[in-house]
Every structure is written in C-alpha cells, then in structure tokens.
C-alpha cells in the first residue's frame, strides 16, 4: 500500500490494523522503528506518509470512506479443528468481511490481497451480499507476488500484476478500476486479468512451483554429498538450460518464511478435499523434502561434532528466514536450533535485524520444552564475534552479506579447536576457510 501511495499521489491510502502497536510503529517519527525491515521501504514511507499515506486503528472510519478496500489480513495454517495443520484459517478474513458488510453505506470494490484457497472470493461475496442495506460489492482477487527482502523492487518493477474478477460488465469495470491504479507505473502488458478462481489458484501454485525448485535442488544436495558431485556445479549446469533458467536453484538448509509451507499445505488440503489423492501427495513431498533438509543439516552438525553437542557452545549466524528481512516465520534456524537443543547444545545467535525477544518467541512457539529451558539453552547476542567466542562450531543459517566480510581469521583464533563451520547457505569461500584452519561443511559440496 505504501508503494501504491508513492506511485499514485492523488489517491489517499489508509492502512488500518487492529494491532495498535503495529500502527504506532508505522507512525513512528524514527523510520528505523518501522515494524517491517525491508530495503527501500523507509524511503517510500518517508515520501508518502502524511501526504496520502496514513496509518490508523480506526477500521470503521476507513471502511466508510474508502471506495476500494484491500483485504490483507493474515491467513495462517489452521491450528485447530477440521483441516488442522493444513487448511488456511480464514477467520481473520471472515471477520473483516463481516465488518465491511456492517459498516459500508455505499458501493465498494473489495480486493482480496491475502493468499487464499480457491473459491474464497465466493465466501466473501456471500457474506458481503447478505447485508440487506442495498450496498453493492464487487469482489476482486489481486494476489501479491512480492518476496520479502526484495519487496519494494518487486512492487515497483514486478513481472506481473494479476487481477481476477467476475465475468460481468460490473466485474470488468471493477477490474479496470484496479488496473488503472497499477497502470500508474506498470506497463499495460504486465497487468493480467483473469477470472477469480484462476487468480486465486495462480498465487497458491506459483508459490508451490517456487518451493518445488528449492526442494528439487536440495534433494540433489543430499545425492551430491553421497557422491563426488558438487551441487553448486550441478545447479549451474541445470540452470544454463534456457528452458529451466538459473533462478531459484540455490541449495540451502531449507526454505522458510510465512508463505511457502502454508500455501503448499493449503494446496494439498484442497486436493485431498477434492479426492485428488495423488495430486495432494505430489505437492506434499515438497514439504517433506524441506523438513528432511533441515533435519539433515542438524544431524550433520551433531555427527560431525563427535556425535554429541551436549553442553557445547554453538554459534548461529543468522536467524531470519532469509537475508534483508527481519521476518522469522518458519525460519529454518529455529528448527535447526530446536533439534540441537534437544541434544542440549548451548546456542548463541547473532542476527543483524531480528529482535532478541523474537528468537525466544520462535523457539517457544515450537513447544518442545519449557520457556525456562529455552532461556537456558538459547542466548541472543548483539555482537557476532562475541557469539562465536569459545564456540565449537559456527552455523550459517541466513545468507546476510555481512557474514562473508567478517574477519574469519579472528573468529577462528577465538574458537575451540577443531573449529567447525557449517555453511547452511553456501555463502563462504571453502578454500579460504580451510586455509585458515576451519573444518568446513557446505551443503552438497
């Protein structure tokens, strides 16, 4: 919404959230306190905030005044009842829809921005149409394709914008109204219009395809480790085929983030519900491979450190699920930490952007042990050299650029010997580290 406000100065954009702290942070004078870290975001907010971009907790006023409403609430995986652990939890969306239905006095276009299972727009429409006050709602699906860490660039120079609408004259009019907003900066041929269901399904499956590439290359990393092949070389060779392409073929400790796992589980659930068992199993394997990769990495650390990490200090560089974000949802780091903590390792974590309370919240969320035990085994650090001092091993969990530039000689000198590095992102120079004296393990090489 900040980018829309930046690109369309004549449109007033009001972002509302029921979370008061978040809105307070969005309004913070100090732009370094914005709740989301994203390169380029604070510049966009600085330009538009107070001009035509506003943040507020007054949801009803914003609904009343808006001609177009973007529903961007969270749609996590259900943690209870039917579809537990797989289906999307749509309660936040339903509550918003009900609130819009209750408050609106004039016709509105309602845009689904959240990632939703196929045919959700229909449910939203049923709720909205059930008000008998004569207000007309047009529902559009406009899934968001930005990736965290590159969100601003993705929004400003996106590959495409997808707008799904009803195939009626009013539906077309609503789609055109939204297209006009994007046309302020997107070339017309990148604004794709489809029917609502195609749009909803395209978002879920685009994420499934991306995650599948990661799981595919990660499966090969295990095969490479069992043979003489090097997954970096294999990835480069596969990606040089123009039909396959070079992007998203980088191996790692596993993908994280709030979207991939949730969306694939959702896709699997939809397929199962429709009786498409083989299709469901096919996509579920992407998740199974990802879980395997995280566990394989943790197991590799334990077996290399002479089959026990009990009482040993382990340094983690990185906690965010990828670089250039402070988001830790489903981060591989917390699963690897959890596994090592099961073996009573003492984990010291440094991440340039993640708050220390968040690290504790993440391991507590896994519910493996008590909060007190987690506090004992996990120590967030503000200085990377302190995190690595006297450690038996360093594990790289996020590919932050700064890690490459550290003084590795100095890190080595202050560690226990033999000093191990487990490069879960393959960002370090193996030869350089080995020449310093480290025992280096990179994934699939």
Give the footprint of ligand NAD on this chain (CB under 6 A). Answer: 16-19, 22, 59, 72-75, 92, 95-96, 114-115, 144, 146, 148, 258-259
Contact 117, 83 (CB under 8 A): no
Residues in the chain: 445
Specify the residue, 71 or 234, whose C-beta has the smaller distance to ligand NAD.
71
Determine the Cα angle at 109 with ends 103 and 114, to 5°.
Answer: 90
Distance of CA 282 to the CA centre of its chain: 22
Q: What span, in angstroms and rounded, lies between the C-alpha atoms of 391 and 420?
A: 9
Cβ of residue 22: shortest distance to ligand NAD, in angstroms? 5
Specify the residue, 115 or 398, whose C-beta has the smaller distance to ligand NAD.
115
Q: Which of 244, 245, 249 is nearest to 233 (CA)?
A: 249
Specify the residue, 69 or 388, whose C-beta has the smaller distance to ligand NAD.
69
Cβ of residue 397: shortest distance to ligand NAD, in angstroms? 19
HSE at residue 181, side-chain half, CA atoms within 13 A, is 23
Cβ of residue 201: shortest distance to ligand NAD, in angstroms? 14
- Our answer to whether residue 259 is catalytic in this structure is yes
Sheet containing 108-112: give its strands across: 68-71, 108-112, 137-141, 161-165, 191-195
Q: In a 10 Å sphere around its CB, with 0-12 CB exposed, 13-18 middle and 19+ buried, how is residue 74 labelled?
A: middle
Contact 388, 377 (CB under 8 A): no
Specify the residue, 28 or 386, whose C-beta has the smaller distance to ligand NAD.
28
> Across the strands, what pairs with 193?
163
Angle between helical axes of 196-226 and 231-239 (0-180°, round to 10):
140
| Residue among 224, 259, 271, 388 flagged as catalytic | 259
Cβ of residue 327: shortest distance to ligand NAD, in angstroms? 7
Cβ of residue 144: shortest distance to ligand NAD, in angstroms? 4
Extended strands (E) in 122-263: 137-141, 161-165, 191-195
Specify the residue, 146 or 222, whose C-beta has the smaller distance to ligand NAD.
146
Residues assigned a catalytic role: 259
């Amino acid at each position: 919404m900040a980018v829309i406000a930046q690109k369309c100065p004549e449109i007033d954009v009001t972002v509302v959230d029921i979370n008061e702290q978040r809105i307070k942070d969005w309004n913070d004078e100090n732009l370094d306190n914005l709740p989301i870290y994203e390169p380029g975001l604070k510049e966009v907010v600085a330009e538009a905030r107070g001009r035509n971009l506003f943040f507020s907790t007054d949801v009803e006023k914003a609904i009343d005044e808006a001609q177009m409403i973007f529903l961007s609430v969270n749609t996590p995986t259900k943690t209870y009842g039917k579809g537990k652990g797989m289906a999307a939890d749509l309660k936040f969306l339903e509550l918003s829809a009900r609130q819009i239905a209750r408050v609106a006095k004039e016709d509105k276009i309602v845009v689904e921005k959240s990632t939703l299972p196929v045919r959700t727009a229909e449910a939203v429409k049923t709720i909205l149409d059930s008000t008998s006050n004569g207000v007309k709602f047009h529902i559009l699906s406009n899934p968001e394709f930005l990736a965290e860490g590159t969100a601003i660039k993705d929004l400003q120079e996106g590959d495409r914008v997808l707008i799904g609408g009803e195939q009626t004259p009013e539906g077309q009019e609503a789609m055109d109204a939204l297209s006009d907003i994007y046309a302020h900066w997107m070339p017309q041929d990148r604004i794709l219009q489809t029917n609502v269901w195609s749009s909803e399904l395209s978002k879920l499956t685009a994420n499934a395809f991306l995650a599948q590439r990661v799981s595919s290359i990660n499966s090969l990393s295990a095969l490479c480790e069992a043979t003489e092949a090097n997954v970096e070389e294999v990835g480069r060779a596969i990606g040089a085929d123009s039909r396959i392409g070079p992007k998203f073929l980088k191996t790692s400790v596993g993908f994280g983030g709030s979207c991939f796992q949730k969306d694939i589980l959702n896709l699997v659930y939809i397929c199962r519900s429709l009786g498409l068992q083989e299709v469901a199993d096919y996509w579920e394997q992407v998740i199974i491979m990802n879980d395997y990769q995280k566990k394989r990495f943790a197991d590799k650390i334990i077996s290399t450190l002479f089959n026990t990490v009990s009482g040993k200090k382990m340094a983690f560089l990185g906690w965010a699920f990828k670089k250039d974000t402070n988001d830790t949802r489903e981060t591989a780091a917390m699963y690897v930490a959890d596994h090592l903590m099961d073996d009573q390792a003492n984990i010291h974590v440094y991440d340039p952007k993640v708050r220390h309370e968040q690290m504790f919240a993440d391991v507590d969320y896994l519910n493996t042990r008590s909060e007190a035990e987690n506090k004992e085994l996990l120590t967030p650090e503000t200085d990377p050299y302190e995190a690595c001092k006297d450690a038996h091993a360093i594990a790289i969990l996020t590919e932050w650029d700064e890690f490459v530039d550290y003084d590795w000689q100095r890190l080595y000198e202050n560690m226990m010997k033999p000093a191990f590095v487990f490069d879960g992102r393959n960002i370090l120079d193996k030869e350089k580290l080995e020449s310093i004296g480290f025992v280096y393990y990179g994934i699939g090489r």
